[in-house]
Amino acid sequence: MHPPIEPYDHGHLDTGDGHLVYWEVCGNPEGKPALVVHGGPGSGCTPRQRRAFDPGRYRIILFDQRNCGRSLPHASDPATDLTTNTTHHLVADMERLREHLGVDRWLLHGGSWGSTLILAYAEAHPERVSEIVLAGVTMTRRSEIDWLYRGVSRFLPEQWQRFRSGVPEDERDGDLLAAYARLMSDPDPDVRARAAHAWAAWEDAVIAHEVNGAPNAYSDRPSPALQAFVRICAHYFSNAAWLEEGALLRDAHRLAGIPGVLVHGRLDLGAPLETAWRLARAWPDARLVVVDDSGHTGSDAMRREIRAAMDRFGAAPPG
């Protein structure tokens, strides 16, 4: 990765409906605009994400999606209303941020949930996107959500049973994600803490089971950040991200003319390769790069592929 850098500008974008979305800009003010779209949902952006870009070539823009990271109000407070936190609101925030920063067209980069949000934005505003680089591709279809929170249990039955036991007994055979969403909005802090740790323990187990996976990949964060992450994830996934099933794949033709690179680990347990493969077949300007030694959290080989794509696109004129 490129050396660490610090932002030269930052602020909060007032969305007009009670949200203040944190943003920052680093790199070359005259460089090619590029937007980092973090995963989760609810993870927030990190200093490490700045380092995928050559700071001499890129104007690197990062933002914390609604109710997480440094955006306000924060989802760790159960009084925070998540009604106006949906995929469509986030797409509108991205477009509002583009206008606020005076960007005409930008490269979009993200992974996991970030790839879903990027696809939703790019299909809505293809004329504003110069290139796309995705890692760990997801489209947050119901089938993908069901696989991650139920299907993977065939590999990790004991860990999934603990995840299932994290909700009240009378809800364990129903919609687990909706049950967790309710628990994460409970006014009792102990209820929220137990639910957050049970959810994160399942996410940790899936990642730790992968090649290059590390224990505590999700739970190793401060309590407010963890609770916001779990609450927002449960909110989104229990509602299938407010996306019509298969819509992002169906509308991939809207990405025609946008060069894309899809970098995906062959050993990704939580987001199997099939999703990236289907997207590459539907998007004629995308190139699929399969990294044989990588799971969802990546590898040195995956990071080299991402950097190569960024360096290649960075050589093109700014959008």
Which of 112, 185, 238, 294 is flagged as catalytic?
112
296 is catalytic: yes
Query: Is the link from the previous residue into 73 a cis peptide, with omega within 30 of 0?
Result: yes
Which strand (E) or helix (H) includes residue 61?
Answer: strand 58-63
Say if residue 107 is exposed, middle or buried (CB neighbours under 10 Å; 0-12, 13-18, 19+): buried
Q: Which residues pair with 137 in a beta bridge?
A: 112
* Whole-Å CA distances, 244 to 20, 159, 231, 240, 250: 28, 30, 22, 8, 10
- With the C-alpha atoms ordered 10, 16, 20, 22, is the resulting torsion angle positive or negative? negative
Q: How far apart are CA 294 and CA 29, in angstroms?
A: 34
Helices vs strands, H then E, count in the chain? 10, 8
Q: Are 167 and 159 in contact (CB under 8 A)?
A: no
188 Cβ neighbours under 8 A, 6+ residues apart = none
268 is catalytic: yes
Which of 74, 109, 264, 296 is flagged as catalytic?
296
> How many other CB atoms sit within 10 Å of the CB of residue 195?
24
Which of 43, 76, 268, 294 is flagged as catalytic?
268
User: Which residues belong to the active site?
Assistant: 112, 268, 296
